[in-house]
Amino acid sequence: MIGGNGRRGARYRLAARRAFARVHPRPRMPMAPPAVPFRLLATLWLAAGLAAQEAVQEATRAVPVFADGEAQVVDAFSKPSEWIREALWVETTFDSDGDGRPDRMHVDVTRPRQTETEGLKVPVVYETSPYFTGIGSTDSRYFWDPKHELGAEPPPRTPMPAVRSTARPDRIATSEVRRWLPRGYAVVHSCSPGTGLSQGCVTIGGENESLAPKAVIDWLCGRAKGYTTIDGGEPVTAHWCSGKVGMIGTSYNGTLPIAAATTGVEGLAAIIPIAPNTSYYLYYRSHGLVRHPGGYMGEDVDVLYDFVNSGNPARRGWCNENVRDGLLKKQQDRLTGDFNDFWFTRDYLRHIDRVRAATLVVHGWNDWNVMPEHSVRIHVALRQRDVPCMAFFHQGGHEGAPPFSLCNRWFTRFLHGVDNGIEAGPRSWIVREGETEATPYADYPHPDAVRVALHPRAGGGAIGGLERAPAPGQGRETLVDDVAVPGAKLAQAAESPQRLLYATPPLAQPLHLSGTARVQLRLACSKPATNLSVWLVTLPWQGAETKNVITRGWADPQNRNSLSRSEPLVPGEFVDVAFDLQPDDQILAAGLPLALMVFASDRDFTLWPKPGTELTLDLDASVLTLPVVGGEAALAAALGASDEGGR
Q: Could you give the angle at the alpha carbon of 583 between the alpha carbons of 577 and 587, nearest 5°?
A: 120
DSSP state of 326: I
Q: Cite the active site residues.
A: 251, 367, 398
**Residues with Cβ within 8 Å of residue 616, at least 6 apart in sequence:** 476, 477, 478, 523, 524, 525, 574
CA dist 442 and 436 (Å) reads 19
**Residues with Cβ within 8 Å of residue 567, at least 6 apart in sequence:** 558, 559, 560, 561
In order, the DSSP letters of 164-204 are: ----BTTB---TTHHHHGGGT-EEEEEEPTTSTT--S---S
| Residue count of the chain | 647
CA dist 269 and 589 (Å) reads 41
Whether the CB-CB separation of 532 and 554 falls below 8 Å is answered with: yes
* 259: nearest Cα among 304, 209, 218: 209
Q: Containing H/E element for 479? A: strand 476-480
Whether the CB-CB separation of 285 and 343 falls below 8 Å is answered with: yes
Question: What are all long-range contacts of 561-570, with beta carbons under 8 Å and residues at least 24 apart?
Answer: 563/287, 563/288, 563/338, 563/339, 564/338, 564/339, 564/340, 565/338, 566/288, 566/336, 566/337, 566/338, 568/151, 568/528, 568/529, 569/524, 569/525, 569/527, 569/528, 569/529, 569/530, 570/528
What sign does the CA torsion over 216, 222, 224, 230 have?
positive
DSSP state of 490: H
Phi, psi of 76 (to 5 degrees): -65, -20
First to last CA, the chain: 143
Cα radius of gyration rounded to whole Å, the chain: 35
* 239: nearest Cα among 464, 20, 86, 348: 86
The alpha carbon of residue 455 and the mean position of all alpha carbons in its chain are separated, in whole angstroms, by 37
In order, the DSSP letters of 541-567 are: --SSHHHHEEEEEEE-GGGSS-TT---
CA dist 509 and 453 (Å) reads 18
